Amino acid sequence: MMFAAAAAGLIIPMLMALARGLMGPTLYDRVLAGNSFGTKTVLLIAVLGFIGGRPDFLDIALLYALMNFVGTIAILKFFRYRNLGIAGETGNGNGDGGAA
Task: Compute mean pLDDT per 10 residues along the chain, 100 residues long, and list them.
Answer: 88 94 91 95 94 92 95 90 69 54
**What's this model's pTM, rounded to 2 decimal places?**
0.76
Instruction: Give the pLDDT of residue 86.
Output: 67
Give the span between the Cα atoms of 87 and 69, in whole angstroms. 19
Give the span between the Cα atoms of 43 and 61, in whole angstroms. 7
Give the span between the Cα atoms of 78 and 1, in whole angstroms. 43
Instruction: Give the pLDDT of residue 80.
Output: 87
CB atoms within 10 A of CB 35: 19
Instruction: Give the pLDDT of residue 49.
Output: 93
